[in-house]
A and B are shown apart, each in its own frame.
Chain A
Amino acid sequence: DSGVTQTPKHLITATGQRVTLRCSPRSGDLSVYWYQQSLDQGLQFLIHYYNGEERAKGNILERFSAQQFPDLHSELNLSSLELGDSALYFCASSVEGADSRNTIYFGEGSWLTVV
């Protein structure tokens, strides 16, 4: 158990809908990262938050947004869903954000299926 908690574990929704994925980082970790794992793709970086502030953005679609709350949990909002958004979405956390030489701990992921 990495200590990173993601909910829901599985989600099936229709095209055009909006979903929210939730992540609780390890106790004491200030950084939260979101990654997308699609078929035949490596883990794709979406976005990084550190202590409530956005630190880095990757290949995140405009239909997607995220935030990190004062209690450090994070949510990834996916809207106007398309079939191609079906993927495993990982959240990860680490103690600090400025130094990626820290170990980064992953949750078990949220499986999203868009039908």
Chain B
Amino acid sequence: ILNVEQSPQSLHVQEGDSTNFTCSFPSSNFYALHWYRWETAKSPEALFVMTLNGDEKKKGRISATLNTKEGYSYLYIKGSQPEDSATYLCAFITQGGSEKLVFGKGTKLTVNP
């Protein structure tokens, strides 16, 4: 059974703080890792699809890195804003994994003004 772990479960930061959280996944047969941002009552919004070891992707103040050999990805938010408050989900898929994205339970970020 594939297991994707995200930590921490929840995080409270002050506006302007930079923060990061972790997604851990099985390192064998890696195929792709997806990051999503999910605000309550909205649809999960795709942030990044990461495929190569050492990948680093950036979208505004949000960036992500990938280490497939050790099985983790970090998501960084620089200068957090209240509008960054959301649950951040990662999802993993294995090579030959019949196209099933396996999601972690997410990290809930709250940015206090």
Contacts and interface: CB of A to CB of B under 8 A. Distances in A.
Interface of A: 2, 4, 33, 35, 40-45, 48, 55-56, 58, 90, 97-98, 100-109
Contacts, number: 63
A41 B32 CA distance: 22
A101 B49 contact: yes
Contacts of B89: 42-43
Contacts of B46: 103-106
Contact of B49 (A48, A102, A106): A102
Contacts of A40: 105
Contacts of B104: 42
Interface of B: 4, 31-32, 34, 36, 41-46, 49, 51, 89, 91, 93, 98-106
A101 B33 CA distance: 8
A109 B40 CA distance: 11
A107 B38 CA distance: 11
Given A43-B91, A97-B99, A109 B105 contact: no
Nearest to B47: A103
Contacts of B49: 101-103
A48 B100 CA distance: 8
